[in-house]
Amino acid sequence: MRRALTALFAVLALGAVSTVPAQAAAVPPPAQDPFYTAPADLTGSPGDVLRQRAVDVKVGPFPAPVKAWQLMYRSTSATGKANAVVGTLLVPPIPWTSGPRPLVTYAVGTHGIGDSCAPSFLLRNGIENEVALLAQQLSKGWAVVVTDYEGLGTPGTHTYATGPAEGHAVLDAARAAQTVPGTGVSKDSEVGVFGYSQGGQAAAFAGELQPSYAPELNLVGVAAGGVPGDLEAVAKFNDGGPAFGLVLGAALGLATAYPDVPFEQILNDRGRSAVERISGACTIELGAAAPFARLRDFVTVADPLADPRWQARLADNKAGEREPGAPLYLYHGTLDELIPFSVGTALRDRYCGAGATVQWQAFPLLEHIGGVSVGGPVATEWLGQRFAGTPAKSTC
């Protein structure tokens, strides 16, 4: 059964993105789907399921051989306010007989800012670009829950690149998934966290926040790769680069998460036009929104990031300042053109200094996408060792 599932996913994944254009979507986009509109009353506890429905997910035009549920669950913003987030729980047909089924709470990389970029929507339409990694984890018999993050799919602007909001969404997705009957998952399930790029940031923050925010989760490992652990360093590295649009997206996401930072009031005409354009953009359009531009081209001040209010919020989103609640597998491509390798090694050093159990892996001669193509499967195997009870090693 496992081999058959793996093979089917592998064959179908070859054309998952290219064969089904977004305009051919078979289900309504989130903006036209009442499921994504949060109820007015968000009282309760983080992880509470607000509504759920069984759905079919696809790989390209073909049905994926899994059971799936969309879950709207209560979570928490970066500033501590209750919010509603949507996620997708995937359960393979492989029986799990040795106790509760393990659960991976999966944090996707950059999907964009527009609601139609939400993984829950893409999975239903067969155009989710991380399906190969999801397939590898599902083929092991694990359940996988994929969060959309705050404001992606649901009304409001996605708080892109905001670590605490992402970490809360990842942890609360696990809490929500544990309450769905008929999955083999329970509150006793071992939980692993997986993410790369934006997802690596989300995974890192989930690990750091778990001891205080979700101590009841049986967290056994966090696999985080290509982590933008220092947003200021990443912004400076990409200033004037081909993917500068991602910097604008991060600025919009952080300004949405933290209303105290100056953003809209310091945009010039070009800046307002660019922000309006990227507010509905998915990955490729977002990255290519302003190639080789610089932040100063879009604002009326010399260096907005030097503002003490921005400095404080950038510090809030600097990963590695706290020991995660479980061992950490941290990896990075040495030729990463978006998140420099030096940001990865500095993050490793901060975690080691905080007393974390860290297994560090550098992947020579690999850029950003190469890092996850090679490192993602290795990270999944590392999580499998944690689920098997093998003690984690540390390279600190």
Tokens of 87: 């996620």
| Domain count within the chain | 2
Other residues' Cβ atoms within 10 Å of the Cβ of residue 212: 9
Q: Do both 261 and 336 map to the same domain?
A: no
Last residue of a domain, one of 271, 292, 315: 315
pLDDT in tens, the chain (396 residues): 444 333 333 323 323 333 333 444 579 999 999 999 999 999 999 999 999 999 999 999 999 999 999 999 999 999 999 999 999 999 999 999 889 999 999 999 999 999 999 999 999 999 999 999 999 999 999 999 999 999 999 999 999 999 999 999 999 999 999 999 999 999 999 999 999 999 999 999 999 999 999 999 999 999 999 999 999 999 999 999 999 999 999 999 999 999 999 999 999 999 999 999 999 999 999 999 999 999 999 999 999 999 999 999 999 999 999 999 999 999 999 999 999 999 999 999 999 999 999 999 999 999 999 999 999 999 999 999 999 999 999 999
**Residue 307 belongs to some domain of the structure:** yes
Three-state DSSP string of 320-373: CCCCCCCCEEEEEECCCCCCCHHHHHHHHHHHHHCCCCEEEEEECCCCHHHHHH
The CA-CA-CA angle for residues 274, 277, 281, to 5°, reads 125
Q: Do both 223 and 236 map to the same domain?
A: no
The boundaries of the domain holding residue 182 are 2-229+322-387
**Residue 35 belongs to some domain of the structure:** yes
Is there a contact between 58 and 67 (Cβ–Cβ < 8 Å)?
no
Q: Do both 304 and 367 map to the same domain?
A: no
51, burial (CB in 10 Å: exposed 0-12, middle 13-18, buried 19+): middle
Last residue of a domain, one of 298, 315, 332: 315
Q: CATH number of the domain at 302, please.
A: 1.10.260.130
> What's the rounded Cα separation, in Å, for the pair 171 and 219?
10
**Residue 378 belongs to some domain of the structure:** yes
> What's the rounded Cα separation, in Å, for the pair 249 and 186?
37
Is there a contact between 73 and 106 (Cβ–Cβ < 8 Å)?
no
Query: Greatest CA span in the chain, whole angstroms?
Result: 61
Q: Do both 98 and 242 map to the same domain?
A: no
